[in-house]
């Protein structure tokens, strides 16, 4: 409760600085990629983990935690690479060919 109060005080006094935080900006930029790629990443990660379970006889909590972390990390990596090498180029084109409003 105290942390929430401190957060509210900080947020109301410096709301613009809060949203200029680089740790918040980058996930916002790659969020579309996270949305688009998470299901695609889940398939191969699930397949690989099923193979590992058969070989190493892993317990259920280990499987759940490792699959969760693997999917999150791989999705963030793929989304970052997609933004850096693919989406950024189209965003530049969007600004270049912007139409004027009527």
DSSP-derived letter for residue 21 is -
Residue 45 burial (C-beta neighbours within 10 Å; 0-12, 13-18, 19+): buried
Whether the predicted model's global pTM rises above the 0.85 cut: no
- Would the pLDDT of 37 be above 90? yes
Q: Which stretches within 1-102 are classed as H helix?
A: 2-13, 15-19, 22-56, 60-82, 88-96
- Would the pLDDT of 18 be above 70? no
Q: What is the pLDDT of residue 7?
A: 72
Q: What pLDDT digit, counting tens, does each position of 39-92 carry? A: 999 999 888 888 888 888 877 788 888 889 999 999 999 999 999 999 998 888
Question: Is residue 78 within 8 Å of residue 42, measured between CB atoms?
Answer: no
Distance from C-alpha of 82 to C-alpha of 60, rounded to nearest angstrom:
32
- Would the pLDDT of 13 be above 80? no
Question: Is residue 9 within 8 Å of residue 39, measured between CB atoms?
Answer: no
Q: What is the pLDDT of residue 12?
A: 67
Distance from C-alpha of 89 to C-alpha of 39, rounded to nearest angstrom:
24
């Amino acid at each position: 409760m105290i942390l929430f109060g401190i957060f509210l005080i900080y947020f109301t006094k410096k709301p613009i600085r809060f949203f200029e935080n680089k740790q918040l900006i980058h996930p916002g930029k790659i969020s579309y990629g996270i949305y688009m790629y998470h299901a695609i990443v889940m398939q191969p990660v699930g397949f690989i983990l099923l193979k590992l379970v058969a070989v190493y006889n892993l317990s259920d909590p280990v499987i759940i935690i490792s699959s969760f972390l693997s999917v999150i990390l791989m999705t963030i990596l793929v989304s970052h690479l997609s933004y850096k090498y693919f989406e950024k180029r189209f965003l530049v084109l969007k600004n270049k060919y912007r139409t004027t409003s009527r």
